[in-house]
Amino acid sequence: MIKFIIPAVIVFLIVLFWEKINETIYKKFKVKINYIIAIMLIAILLIISSLLYY
């Protein structure tokens, strides 16, 4: 039961404090976290599709 509750709480807190997290990372690294996530998602999809193709 704990193994389902802890990740749910972590995801809830990330969603709740997303703007604050995004703002903090932007101040430190001058890059929006949304761009990083989008690039990682595209890269993962490309890797999966290339593995499925070959």
List the domain boundaries for the chain.
2-53
**Does 41 score more than 80 pLDDT?**
yes
User: Mean pLDDT over all residues of the chain?
Assistant: 86
Q: Tokens 């972590």 map to which residue?
A: 10
**Does 54 score more than 80 pLDDT?**
no
Q: How far apart are CA 37 and CA 34, in angstroms?
A: 5
Residues 6+ apart with CB under 8 A from 42: none
pLDDT tens column, 14-25: 889 988 988 888
Share of the chain above pLDDT 90, in %: 20
**Does 43 score more than 90 pLDDT?**
yes
**Does 11 score more than 90 pLDDT?**
no
